[in-house]
Chains A and B, each alone.
Chain A
Amino acid sequence: MAEIILKDIEKFFGPAYVIRKLNLTIKHREFVVLLGPSGCGKTTTLRAIAGLEEIDRGEILIDGKQVQSLEAGDRDIAFVFQLFALYPHLTAYDNIAFPLRAMSESKDSIDKKVRAVARSLQIEHLLAKRPSSLAGGDMQRVAIGRALVRRPKAMLMDEPMGALDAKLREEMRTELKRLHLENEATTVYVTHDQVEAMSMADRIAIMNDGILQQVGTPDEVYHSPANLFVAQFVGSPVMNIAPVTIKSDGKSMQVSLYDDASAFEFPSEIAAQIAASPAGVGDLTLGIRPEGVLLSREARDGYVPSHVHLIEPLGAYDIVDLKFGVSILRARTKSGFASKAGEKVWARLDPAQTHLFNTKSGDSLHIRLGDGAH
């Protein structure tokens, strides 16, 4: 059992206000990812949970008990760092056994536990080796084994795959997730990589400048980003955004990017929703993911003519850049849809996948037509 509650956490480094009134509940057995750019406060938050960093204000509760005055060693939490932090003179076996020996367990019991962890990590054949003769991925597996062997209530991981190459990271993602399912330890995982966050998390907590921006399932943060920061931090290629001018005549609504002449058509009911939204006062910014920009090779009702500006083939699909005045809209198409730059195409913005934000505050108006991608 391990439920972790952060209540009004604040942390200063000198004059720098690095965590600002953070509130977050991590449920028992949950896999929560703290996601954000460097300097956003995610690692400091993780270290505060572990007891490696003191907080200036607020409370940290683990299973209902205040822990902010407890030493790291008394919190029954395991920590895995980005850099493997193994003892170079010990074998993989002894590295994994180390925390158990510190608790003076019997030799038999240690051996059983080390081998069980090694089996689940598929590193049984490496137990006799020293870290220097292991590949990066295997070193990280040993480090994770060392964290797991104590069967801690919670696992905290700080960019554990940051030092691995792309292919290995893909494999480790699946392994870590399976491991989590088997171990059921509450896990808090820090990364700046949104792909990692999206693909592993039960819930993602997105931070920027020490402020929690949004907490939600991968689907929620992807399909209903709370603000422009989340909208552009999650998803690749990045969500298109552009300030818009909106005109409505009651029958339909026309949306132009910046002051571009061409206007995209939207159902008129959006105009009423904008008027009703508290964030709808003032300048608006439109956001749409590349898969929401629909293209046609022929003129069609509701489609606006444009030209292919650039094509980025990515194998499974292409990203096609279109230019509207000074704005670039990127569309996701089938591989080979556009054959060359300069080609004429017609574009439409799928209203169900269109987001509107208040330009000044960045907040989403939370207007959604239809059920979007869901």
Chain B
Amino acid sequence: MAHIKFHSVTKRFGNNTALDALSIDVADGEFFVLLGPTGAGKTTALRLIAGLDAPDSGSIEIGGEDVRDRTAAERDVALVFQYYSLYPRYTVRQNLEFPLRSRTRDFTQTEIDQRVDQASKTLRITHLMDRKTDRLSGGEMQRVSIGRAIVREPRAFLMDEPLSNLDAKLREALRSELKELQIRLKATFIFVTHDQVEAMSMGDKVAVLNKGKLVQVGTPWEIYNRPRDLFVAGFVGSPSMNMLVGSVSGSQCSLFDGAQKLLLPAKTAGASVTVGIRAEDVEVGPNGPVEAVIHDVENHGMEKIITLRVADTLLKATVSSKMQTIVDAKVKFGVDPQKAHFFDAASGMNLSA
């Protein structure tokens, strides 16, 4: 069982608090993503689980047991890094066998063969087994690195941005492969990334970290549709959520000099409000209440993302690629009131949460 738990874990490096009282709970067999910008503490969290660093306070449990006194080897978790750490002069087979030949393990050659065969089939690298690893492409090398983790049959896989050195096409393909692998192995995956698309598309749960603190944990649907604060709202989703200054009067919030009126959620009287609207929730059409000028048009294939300018405010809208859009032309638009997010401008917290 590889249920992994952080109890208020803090880790400092000199004056820098890399993790600040982090508590998370990763269920057995879950694909759990740690998402955040550089410096958020994601990699630190992973290294603490692996036993490569020790927390300054708080505790970490793996499978119900406090691992404080367990060495990295005893924790039985496997790390896969961004940079493939393979032995270049060894063949793929030798690289896969290597972790099983360690003196602390007592595997017979038959057992080793079995595990290596199984892993190579799973990762579709059987045709590469006799090749030296310096003759492989980036995607193949990363598959072999993952293979080295699989043969150990660890309690959990810890992955530190394993896709970030691959090109876009390969990254997409490996995204599906990794997710499929995790489902097939029924293994616990903790996956670190700064890429929100990876987090959304692969995670059962996503934990968003910023500056060493946990901001929100939830399913991809929850963090996209119910962002806890302005940070999550702005970090998740592409293009970034539009953030507009609302003027509040009673239970009403108006945008663009009163042209668009929205009803505020209860209990927000007197607050100064930031209104968040995703590009796909801005409806461009002749019946919209707000008038704007098209500031920019981006072609994204099946759709366009246009930037609208209202006085000095810019906001993005997703429209069909069939819509005629001319830069500097006038258009009308409105905001779907059901889809607007309201945040306290001072604290950044979501007012509906």
Contact = CB atoms under 8 A, between A and B. Distances in A.
Contact of A165 (B37, B202, B296, B307): B37
A7 to B, nearest CB: 29
B224 A315 contact: yes
A309 B180 CA distance: 9
Of the listed residues A234, A291, A315, A319, the one surrounded by the most CB atoms of chain B closer than 10 A to its CB is A315
A31 interface: no
A238 B37 CA distance: 26
Nearest to A330: B176
A129 interface: no
B169 interface: yes
B200 A313 contact: yes
Given A166-B238, A181-B327, A233-B169, A314 B299 contact: no
A164 to B, nearest CB: 12
A178 B296 contact: yes
A318 to B, nearest CB: 9
Interface string B280-296: 10000000000000011
Interface in A342-374: 373-374
Interface stretch (A11-19, A137-145, A169-177, A274-282): A169-177
B85 interface: no
A319 B224 CA distance: 15
B240 A167 contact: yes
Of the listed residues B179, B301, B305, the one surrounded by the most CB atoms of chain A closer than 10 A to its CB is B301
Interface string B202-234: 100000000000000000110011000000001
B322 A373 contact: yes
Contact of A291 (B169, B172, B200, B302): B302
Contacts of A373: 302, 321-322
A106 B296 CA distance: 36
B237 A315 contact: yes
Contacts of B37: 165
B220 A173 contact: no
A118 to B, nearest CB: 18
A289 B301 contact: yes
A289 B172 CA distance: 14
A314 B201 contact: yes
Contacts of A192: 167
Interface in A204-223: 218-219, 222
Interface residues of A, number: 45
A291 B300 CA distance: 13
B168 A194 contact: yes
A314 B200 contact: yes
A306 interface: no
A29 to B, nearest CB: 14
B168 A199 contact: no
B282 to A, nearest CB: 12
Contacts of B234: 167
B134 interface: no
Nearest to B169: A238
Nearest to B198: A312
Interface in B222-273: 224-225, 234-240
B197 A174 contact: no
B166 to A, nearest CB: 12
A310 B322 contact: no
Given A235-B301, A236-B172, A374-B322, A177 B280 contact: no
Contacts of A328: 176
B47 interface: no
A211 B219 CA distance: 44
B111 interface: no
B52 interface: no
Interface string A245-257: 0000000000000
A37 B167 contact: yes
A222 B200 CA distance: 25
A178 B302 contact: no
B299 A222 contact: yes
Given A236-B168, A238-B172, A174 B299 contact: no
A321 B176 contact: yes
Interface string B155-198: 00000000000011100110110011001000000000011110
B93 interface: no
A312 B176 contact: yes
B169 A232 contact: yes
Given A167-B240, A236-B172, A313-B201, A199 B305 contact: yes
12 contacts: A167-B240, A174-B298, A177-B296, A181-B327, A194-B168, A222-B301, A310-B180, A312-B176, A312-B201, A316-B279, A335-B221, A336-B221
